[in-house]
Amino acid sequence: MASAAEQLASNLNFAAFAKAEDLKKRIWFTLGALLVYRLGTYIPLPGINPDAFAQAFQQQSQGVLGVFNAFAGGAVERMAIFALGIMPYISASIIMQLMTSVIPTLEALKKEGEQGRKVINQYTRYGTVLLAVVQAYGISVGLESGQGIVTDPGWFFRLSTVITLTGGTMFLMWLGEQITSRGIGNGISLIIFAGIVAGLPHALGQTLELGRTGAMSTGLILGIIVLCVVVVGAIVFFERAQRRLLIQYPKRQIGNRMFQGDTSHLPLKLNTAGVIPPIFASSLLLLPATLAGFSNTTTLPGWATTALALLGHGQPLYMALYAAMIAFFCFFYTAIVFNPKDTADQLKKHSGFIPGYRPGERTAEYIDYVLTRITVVGAIYLVVVCLIPEFLISWAGVPFYLGGTSLLIVVSVTLDTVAQVQGHLIAHQYEGLIKKSKLRGGKRGK
């Protein structure tokens, strides 16, 4: 079996790809869907003065709006119909995951299998609509508070903005589901990936322009490029790293036959939480500065002004809180998405056990012991990757760097998509081998 798998993997070449018609259709469908998404980020919201909004956005680009704009592919900067992006759906998904761990009814639904997951997904869609409506209304009110941004403020503008932005989010959610089922890769992740990658040429042009004007030295630009390559390599290594726990199954007797005991592995990812910790941490830390930017800073009390100054990019307090929040969300989200007790119960149900540990509670304690320690390493890895851009901003004083969160998303989605493409190629070649063997068997029979 191992030699056959190695032979299939070694034959993954362009010739195999050319014969995989289903895979090519999936890739073309994915590219077409992402093109539709990119076109939507350039359709402006009705009733907006683009020049006035661009000036207002420039003042808030370093706040939470800048983070959302990066994930939305520049749609926030242009206040397009996809300005909310897919973030309401991600927030609703995270909220539903939290609720399934604290509400017994939802927890029971989760254990029902496919039917239960469909019900939870439907609840997630309802939550997405609710969050999108609330956020869209907040955006409409915020736009009206800006000077000259809205050409005709009033309830008609608010209603049209809520309908347009909510409809854009729901369309992106549907588009992501279509990519997942009919395309290649995870649709939601690919939409975020496309938004981030679309901003890379502009970011690179800004960096080269700083080098041309002398604001950045050539050595510094080359150092940043080398550092990005090193960080990408580290992300690839740590995202694929896992601790594999040995699982053994006893001998079984079915009828008069005795089957030998089998062994397998329980893989525990080093970074179970993924990109959720840095997204949550950066959003929470940038929120106070963004809210203060919409208000009159001269009316703020002295302690609030001091706090905002300490929470600026590159400040020691900002970096310390950023690192602490990333570590906290690593453990918090890992505890939500992975339950050692449920895993131990499933192993016990299928007669599996970890050598040296009694099935049940002792196995759950050991899994939790291992998971806690590898999560410490994963949290340190996320903190280092995400703080590198902050140190560069503080040291070099440049306005933009590709953040660690963006790199994490780009690399993780790329790895996942490439793995799915290889899986489709292996399945295609395996089906081809089966067809050839059947044809040979038929010829011999004749």
Q: pLDDT at position 23, please?
A: 81
Burial class (CB in 10 A: 0-12, 13-18, 19+), 333: buried
> What's the 3-state SS for 114-182?
HHHHHHHHHHHHHHHHHHHHHHHHHHHHHHHHCCCCECCCCHHHHHHHHHHHHHHHHHHHHHHHHHHHH
Rounded average pLDDT over 141-147? 79
Cα dihedral value 93, 94, 97, 98, nearest 10: -140
Q: pLDDT at position 147, please?
A: 76
Question: What confidence category does residue 16 fall into, taking pLDDT thresholds of 50, 70 and 90?
Answer: low
Question: What confidence category does residue 2 fall into, taking pLDDT thresholds of 50, 70 and 90?
Answer: very low
Give the separation between CA 439 and CA 446, rounded to whole angstroms.
Answer: 11
- Whether the predicted pLDDT of 218 surpasses 50: yes
What is 22-198's CATH number?
1.10.3370.10
Question: What confidence category does residue 159 fall into, taking pLDDT thresholds of 50, 70 and 90?
Answer: very high
CB 337 within 8 A of CB 272: yes
pLDDT tens-digit profile of 298-325? 555 667 667 766 776 667 788 888 889 8
Tell me the pLDDT of the chain averaged across its residues.
Answer: 79
Q: Of 62-71, 329-338, 397-406, which one has max mean pLDDT?
A: 329-338
Rounded average pLDDT over 151-175? 91
- Whether the predicted pLDDT of 64 surpasses 90: no
Cα dihedral value 8, 10, 13, 17, nearest 10: 20
Give the separation between CA 131 and CA 91, rounded to whole angstroms.
Answer: 8
Residue 243 has what DSSP assignment? E
- Determine what percent of the chain falls in helix, strand and coil, rounding each to the nearest 5: 75, 5, 20
pLDDT tens-digit profile of 244-289? 888 888 766 666 666 666 788 888 888 888 888 887 787 777 666 6
Whole-Å CA distances, 16 to 28, 83, 87, 418, 421: 17, 40, 37, 15, 12
pLDDT tens-digit profile of 226-239? 888 888 888 889 88
Q: pLDDT at position 398, please?
A: 53
Give the separation between CA 171 and CA 341, rounded to whole angstroms.
Answer: 38
Domain borders along the chain are: 22-198, 217-402
User: Residue 97, Cβ neighbours under 10 Å: how many?
Assistant: 17
CATH code 1.10.3720.10 for 217-402? no
Rounded average pLDDT over 111-131? 85
pLDDT tens-digit profile of 343-398? 888 888 877 888 888 888 888 899 999 999 999 999 999 999 888 877 776 676 55
- Common-topology check for domains 22-198 and 217-402: yes
Element holding 217 (H helix, E strand): none
Return the half-sphere exposure (C-beta side, CA atoms, 13 A cut-off) of residue 90. 19
Q: How far is CA 402 from the centre of its chain?
A: 16
Residue 258 has what DSSP assignment? E
Give the separation between CA 117 and CA 113, rounded to whole angstroms.
Answer: 6
Question: What confidence category does residue 108 fall into, taking pLDDT thresholds of 50, 70 and 90?
Answer: confident
Return the half-sphere exposure (C-beta side, CA atoms, 13 A cut-off) of residue 7. 7
CB 244 within 8 A of CB 235: no
Burial class (CB in 10 A: 0-12, 13-18, 19+), 403: buried
What pTM does this model have?
0.78
Q: pLDDT at position 3, please?
A: 41
Helices 404-445 and 2-10 cross at an angle (nearest 10°) of 110
Of the candidates 2, 9, 7, 6, the one whose C-alpha atom is nearest the C-alpha of residue 422 is 9
CA angle 281/282/287 to nearest 5° reads 105
Question: What confidence category does residue 213 fall into, taking pLDDT thresholds of 50, 70 and 90?
Answer: confident
Q: In terms of pLDDT, which residue wins out, 423 or 303?
A: 423
